[in-house]
Chain A
Amino acid sequence: MILPRKSFRLSRRRLLKGLAAGGVLGASSARAAEAPAEAPAGDPAILEPRPWSTSLGPGVEDGSYGVPAPQEAHVVRRTVPWLTADPAASVSFTPLHELDGIITPNGLCFERHHSGIAEVEPDGHRLMIHGLVGRPLIFTMRDLLRFPRESHVCFLECAANTGMEWRGAQLDGVQFTHGMLHCVEYVGVPLRHVLAEAGLRAGASWLLVEGADGAGMSRSLPLAKALEDCLIAFRMNGEALRPEQGYPLRLVVPGWEGNLWIKWLRRIEVGDAPWGQREETSRYTELLPDGRARRHSFEMEVKSVVTSPSPQAPVRHGKGPLVISGLAWSGAGRATRVDVSLDGGRDWRPARFSGPDLRFALRRFYLDAEWDGSEWLIQSRAMDEAGRIQPTRRQLQAARGVNSIYHNNAIQTWRLAPDGSLENVDVE
């Protein structure tokens, strides 16, 4: 039977109405058979056969290393080219807005090098321990694999993270404001076991730790921290360290600034005083308003940030349920609490933690919100196990001025606009 044009149109309109009212699709088999291509009988993702469901996909990839789906190609580290003079002494940022949970995939961990990536041959790599020790010792990678091992999930934050934001909102994306941060499961040897092999002599109180890169990256580390919880790591998230993360050996200094986590670690000297290296005098010291500068400010302070929504991860779904997701951490050990404000810090409500709660690791929080489409000024505020509360930018500026560069743990504000876009702003 052939339906006259007019009556078809009518029935189509009726059908649309039914759909809009939440009605069940008409059971008319005649309609199904005769519906033209544009008829919205339902979601083409369901109604139309998909190529991957009706054919064979590629087989196992022999000998290859798996990579993310091509549609995820935008999930990459990024740089801020104007920040530094040369890419060999520069930084790339973790795309925090694209990640969830607490673990950073190895290939997305931010990088900071001072003489490029040292391409170390592990068979020829040695670790030397000397100075105020019973016997100066040399270890090969094979030697190190015979020490008792430990695994720890730790965040690593560069002391300069958020360093461009001291005077006010500068960079429009959490990748750039907070992306000198990652969190990885490390496996390695507690530094105290290796020190015990050499034995310490009286007066030992500081270590010089040094990398095998062109910069000979070097820092002074208090012996107390070394004995407490530092790790000489050779694995991250199960596999060998990535070259840009110090392959084959890096120091893990839980809760302390990233610059101390020497990559391509090759030498440890035991001494009785700090070494005043360039990275603990010219850099990684905080100039205060009175002209004096803080040094040996190793610990990372209590901090949190909303990773989504954020300028690079806008709200595309309009009003209604909105998941606010973020990270909290503290060099004191654990972030114990996070509150979220939607009105620029006037009123706060507690966020909910989900996932692992490990000392010196990132912690993931969520706030399950209902967006009414109005302007929101979104902030998060962490508290840690030492009882310290993340300060506002104003509080931090009042105490430290604006020329510290390092250790900016101020509360971050994202402005959510009615169109769903977000922006890094300063509020008062």
Chain B
Amino acid sequence: MWSRGVLLALLLTAGGARAEESPLGLGREATEAEVAAWDIDVRPDGQGLPEGRGTVEEGGLLYDDLCAACHGDFGEGAGRWAALAGGRGTLTHRDPLKTIGSYWPHLSTVFDYTRRAMPFHAPRSLTDDEAYAITAYVLYLNDLVEDEGFELSRANFMDFALPNAGGFIEDDRWSEPHYAPGLEPCMSDCLPGEAKVIGRARAVGVTPDGGGGFE
């Protein structure tokens, strides 16, 4: 593991009397405008939300123009493009539908990701107001707001929790039985009887051509 000493040393560099000095003196100080130009992330606690506002109705017009071709008129997803709505209550099903409404824990991610990366062919082209409007519309598509006049803004953004906000746990893989401490690899008679083939990739038949094989 990382050494507490290293972290302490780094903290001292900044917090101590010599905060202005860097160990190597490389790089230059960023200007406020530079940081503002690139700092586009929004956190679940609202840190990073810009000023702005937009209604469901405005968002609907933008969505139909900029998003529906891939994500479907109702957020149901067109073809293999992702669905943005629906799927509530399917997480325990054999074929769960993971969407903003059914799976995503944070509304901030909708705003952050849409403004950062969508529409697919023109990332970073939305204004902050447009991102608020589209986020409001995505809430509407997921039946999380019902009024088309509803306006989402920095002021009321934190009032919304997505349905699956409590659905996540931290990594606990190491507590699984097959990782129990002290297990030794079995070397003989590890499973009963002769092995039986119970599934074959060739029967599924979805492998692309190429890459050798027997022919």
In the complex the two chains form, what is the Cα distance from A218 to B42 in whole Å? 11
Evaluate contact between A115 and B117: CB separation under 8 angstroms: yes
Does B155 reach chain A (CB closer than 8 Å)? no
Chain A residues with CB under 8 Å of B44's CB are 273, 275-276
Does A5 reach chain B (CB closer than 8 Å)? no
Residue of B nearest to A316 (CB): B214
Residues B158-215 near A (CB distance < 8 A): 167-174, 176-179, 181-183, 185-191, 194-202, 204, 206-208, 210-214
In the complex the two chains form, what is the Cα distance from A425 to B201 in whole Å? 6
Interface string of A386-426 (1 = CB under 8 A from B): 01110110011011100100010000000100011101111
The interface-forming segment of A32-40, A47-55, A73-81, A359-367 is A73-81
Does B10 reach chain A (CB closer than 8 Å)? yes
In the complex the two chains form, what is the Cα distance from A80 to B211 in whole Å? 12
Evaluate contact between A428 and B34: CB separation under 8 angstroms: no
Interface string of B32-49 (1 = CB under 8 A from A): 001100111111110100
Evaluate contact between B212 and A314: CB separation under 8 angstroms: yes
Does A26 reach chain B (CB closer than 8 Å)? no
The interface-forming segment of B16-24, B128-136, B138-146 is B16-24
Least CB distance from B180 to A in Å reads: 9
Chain B residues with CB under 8 Å of A79's CB are 208
Evaluate contact between A389 and B185: CB separation under 8 angstroms: yes
In the complex the two chains form, what is the Cα distance from A285 to B32 in whole Å? 35
Residue of A nearest to B90 (CB): A291
Residue of B nearest to A302 (CB): B179
Evaluate contact between B80 and A84: CB separation under 8 angstroms: yes
Chain B residues with CB under 8 Å of A407's CB are 173
Evaluate contact between A170 and B206: CB separation under 8 angstroms: yes
Residues B108-164 near A (CB distance < 8 A): 108-109, 112-113, 116-117, 120, 123-124
Does A214 reach chain B (CB closer than 8 Å)? yes
Does A86 reach chain B (CB closer than 8 Å)? yes
Evaluate contact between A201 and B15: CB separation under 8 angstroms: yes
Selected from B15, B116, B185, the residue in CB contact (under 8 A) with A218 is B116
Max chain B CB contacts within 10 Å: which of A98, A172, A192, A223?
Answer: A172
In the complex the two chains form, what is the Cα distance from A372 to B29 in whole Å? 69
Chain B residues with CB under 8 Å of A61's CB are none
Chain A residues with CB under 8 Å of B9's CB are 196
Evaluate contact between A197 and B23: CB separation under 8 angstroms: yes
Chain B residues with CB under 8 Å of A115's CB are 117, 120, 123
Max chain A CB contacts within 10 Å: which of B38, B185, B195, B210?
Answer: B195
Evaluate contact between B190 and A347: CB separation under 8 angstroms: yes
Residues A111-159 near B (CB distance < 8 A): 114-115, 128-130, 133-139, 143, 146-147
Does A352 reach chain B (CB closer than 8 Å)? no
Chain A residues with CB under 8 Å of B176's CB are 391, 399-400
Least CB distance from A136 to B in Å reads: 4
Least CB distance from A26 to B in Å reads: 39
Does B96 reach chain A (CB closer than 8 Å)? yes
Evaluate contact between A216 and B201: CB separation under 8 angstroms: no
Does A281 reach chain B (CB closer than 8 Å)? yes
Evaluate contact between A196 and B23: CB separation under 8 angstroms: yes
User: Provided the pairs A198-B22, A227-B2, A346-B190 are in contact, do residues A428 and B80 lie with their beta carbons within 8 angstroms?
Assistant: no
Does A289 reach chain B (CB closer than 8 Å)? yes
Does A358 reach chain B (CB closer than 8 Å)? no
Max chain B CB contacts within 10 Å: which of A223, A287, A392, A396?
Answer: A287
Residue of A nearest to B162 (CB): A281
Evaluate contact between A281 and B14: CB separation under 8 angstroms: no
Least CB distance from A427 to B in Å reads: 5
Max chain A CB contacts within 10 Å: which of B172, B182, B202?
Answer: B202
Evaluate contact between A387 and B182: CB separation under 8 angstroms: yes
Does A319 reach chain B (CB closer than 8 Å)? no
Does A224 reach chain B (CB closer than 8 Å)? yes
In the complex the two chains form, what is the Cα distance from A274 to B28 in whole Å? 27
Evaluate contact between B183 and A294: CB separation under 8 angstroms: no
Residue of B nearest to A173 (CB): B211
Chain A residues with CB under 8 Å of B185's CB are 337, 339, 348, 381, 383, 389
Evaluate contact between A176 and B207: CB separation under 8 angstroms: yes
Evaluate contact between A204 and B11: CB separation under 8 angstroms: yes
Does A313 reach chain B (CB closer than 8 Å)? yes
In the complex the two chains form, what is the Cα distance from A421 to B199 in whole Å? 17
In the complex the two chains form, what is the Cα distance from A418 to B206 in whole Å? 24
Does A175 reach chain B (CB closer than 8 Å)? yes
Evaluate contact between A199 and B22: CB separation under 8 angstroms: yes
Selected from B96, B178, B198, B199, the residue in CB contact (under 8 A) with A287 is B96
Residue of B nearest to A311 (CB): B213
In the complex the two chains form, what is the Cα distance from A93 to B16 in whole Å? 49
Chain A residues with CB under 8 Å of B1's CB are 224, 228
Chain A residues with CB under 8 Å of B38's CB are 128, 210, 266-267
Using A214-B117, A215-B116, A216-B40 as known contacts, list a sample of 19 further A-B pairs with CB atoms less than 8 Å apart, ordered by residue number in A.
Answer: A97-B211, A128-B35, A136-B35, A137-B28, A138-B27, A143-B27, A197-B23, A199-B14, A276-B105, A277-B41, A282-B100, A282-B109, A294-B169, A295-B168, A295-B170, A345-B191, A348-B188, A348-B190, A415-B197
Binding site for A on B (CB under 8 A): 1-3, 6-7, 9-11, 13-15, 19-20, 22-24, 26-30, 34-35, 38-45, 47, 70, 79-81, 91-92, 96, 98, 100, 103-106, 108-109, 112-113, 116-117, 120, 123-124, 167-174, 176-179, 181-183, 185-191, 194-202, 204, 206-208, 210-214
Residue pairs across A and B with Cβ atoms less than 8 A apart, 14 shown, are A78-B211, A97-B211, A135-B14, A143-B26, A192-B10, A201-B15, A215-B117, A228-B2, A273-B44, A273-B45, A276-B106, A285-B168, A295-B171, A346-B195
